[in-house]
Amino acid sequence: MADTHLTAPSRFVEVDGERFAYRRWGDSGSAQPPLFFLQHFRGGMDHWDPLMTDGLAAGREVILYDYRGCASSTGAPRMLIEDMADDAAKVVRTLGLSQVDVVGFSLGGMVAQDLTRRHPDLVRKLMLLGTQPRGGNPDPDMRIFEVAPRPAPTVDDFLFLFFGPSDAAKQAGRDFWKRRHQREDQDPPSSPELMQAQIAANTAFVTPLDPEKPFAHLGEINQPTLIVNGVNDVMIATINSWHMVQNIPNAQLIVYPDAGHGAQFQYPERFLKHAAQFLDE
């Protein structure tokens, strides 16, 4: 029986003396490269939506991954996005892959941009979800600094951070919450040390490389890029997606209505259609 999001075993690959956790399943006979997932702040392999991962696995292999020191992976957490990107490149190469498609969500989207800029030979196509460019202004709702660091986020925390304000959006969020807790053998929660390291990495990332041309570096990303966000992202202001689509040469932007930071989780069927079309065309 083929593996799914709920059954794919956690595996480990050793890089620089540390063990990186990953799960891999899907259509191994596809002509497309595997789709490599980079997760949000504090998130691990079980913070993805099974509808999203299994839906995409129908046309290609998918690989979920825990950063250094995150959940099931060992090592001291990285404090710079570029180091997290280099780790990801080493893991991809250690898995014997010459090329992948990459999807990065939130902090994972920052890692995905640096992975693509620093290791362009490894990335065929790029999807950036609810994220920002280096040097961007996240301009968040100040309440996130109370909610996001909580040791054990509740469903109401996720509804505020990831979903739109309407009743329909909140119901979509509760449906997502149920889906993402279906797997029995889940990753352990991330540590306080990982949280602090990722806060430091995010803080460093918002400093522009060139204050006079803060987004010029995005011109180095020549891969086809799909950018997706909600119309009202309280974590990373939606305007950052516009900055990216203006400065990445081969990018397109989709903004979902009545949605926030996790628009792809609020509209999973719609996102799957958009993602599959982008990856297949």
pLDDT for res 166: 96
CA distances from 137 to 80, 214, 248 (A): 17, 11, 17
pLDDT for res 1: 73
Rounded CA separation 31/12 (Å): 25
Q: Which of 261, 37, 48 is nearest to 160 (CA)?
A: 261
Rounded CA separation 222/27 (Å): 27
> The whole model's pTM is what?
0.97
pLDDT for res 153: 84
- Classify residue 269 by burial, with Cβ atoms within 10 Å: 0-12, 13-18, 19+: exposed
Burial 13-43 (b: 16+ CB within 10 A, else e): bebeeeebbbbbbbbeeeebbbbbbbbbbbb
pLDDT for res 151: 85
Tell me: the pLDDT tens digits for 159-204?
Answer: 999 999 999 999 999 999 999 999 999 999 999 999 999 999 999 9
pLDDT for res 263: 98
CA distances from 96 to 3, 100, 199 (A): 21, 11, 31
- Classify residue 188 by burial, with Cβ atoms within 10 Å: 0-12, 13-18, 19+: exposed
Q: How many residues does the chain have?
A: 281
Strands of the sheet with 251-256, listed across from one edge: 11-15, 18-26, 61-65, 35-38, 100-105, 123-129, 225-230, 251-256
pLDDT for res 25: 98
Ranges of residues in the chain whose predicted pLDDT is under 70: none
- Residues 6 or more apart whose CB falls under 8 angstroms from that of 154 comprise none
Rounded CA separation 272/65 (Å): 20
